[in-house]
Chain A
Amino acid sequence: ETGVTQSPTHLIKTRGQQVTLRCSSQSGHNTVSWYQQALGQGPQFIFQYYREEENGRGNFPPRFSGLQFPNYSSELNVNALELDDSALYLCASSSSGTVHSPLHFGNGTRLTVT
């Protein structure tokens, strides 16, 4: 069973730039969620993708956007980066539909905005 993989592991960007983070879901999972984890805090829900469509969104501005592909992998895009966007971005996959499963997290992408 292949777990959730994220790339890159670390990234440094400048304020105002754009970034794309990638996630491959665990085999057998059809849902991908993205979370932002600031230092010393719990993960905060950004959005969830199911059947290639956004299926719920947290309190994040529109400059946070995403995609899910037919193979259930996903991207998180952040435009116009701000210093406060510096955080660990966690992708989690799960199963939705008839049977729901818990979140399984990847190792995350550490984003630093300078």
Chain B
Amino acid sequence: GENVEQHPSTLSVQEGDSAVIKCTYSDSASNYFPWYKQELGKRPQLIIDIRSNVGEKKDQRIAVTLNKTAKHFSLHITETQPEDSAVYFCAASMNFNKFYFGSGTKLNVKP
């Protein structure tokens, strides 16, 4: 089955700096890659997603890039704010069936 690896496990940045989280996947058949943000004690919430026919997608301060050849995708957050502090999960799916999640990155944005 699919295996998703996520790095780093923790990331600490200064407010205003950029943060990058990277994920790799093993199954070349995966074609949908969402990113979820989970604040302490709350549900995972979708923040951005990308399909395999697109190389990059941006939504305000958040962007995701996908390299299908290398089987990796990354989340980029610019101009980080303290409210960006949370655990971020990447995931991979084939045709929206099973979703395989990474182990999470705890982002701490220091004011």
Contacts and interface: CB of A to CB of B under 8 A. Distances in A.
A48 B98 contact: yes
Contact of A107 (B1, B4, B43, B101): B43
B37 to A, nearest CB: 11
Contact of B104 (A42, A48, A58): A42
Interface residues of B, number: 24
B43 A90 contact: yes
Interface residues of A, number: 26
Interface of B: 1, 4, 6, 32, 34, 36, 42-46, 49, 89, 91, 95-104
A101 B93 CA distance: 12
Interface in A16-59: 33, 35, 40-45, 48, 55-56, 58-59
Contact of A42 (B42, B43, B96, B102): B102
28 contacts: A4-B43, A35-B101, A40-B103, A40-B104, A42-B4, A42-B6, A42-B89, A42-B101, A42-B103, A43-B89, A43-B99, A48-B97, A55-B97, A56-B97, A56-B98, A58-B98, A59-B1, A90-B43, A100-B32, A101-B96, A102-B46, A102-B96, A103-B46, A103-B99, A104-B46, A105-B44, A107-B42, A108-B43
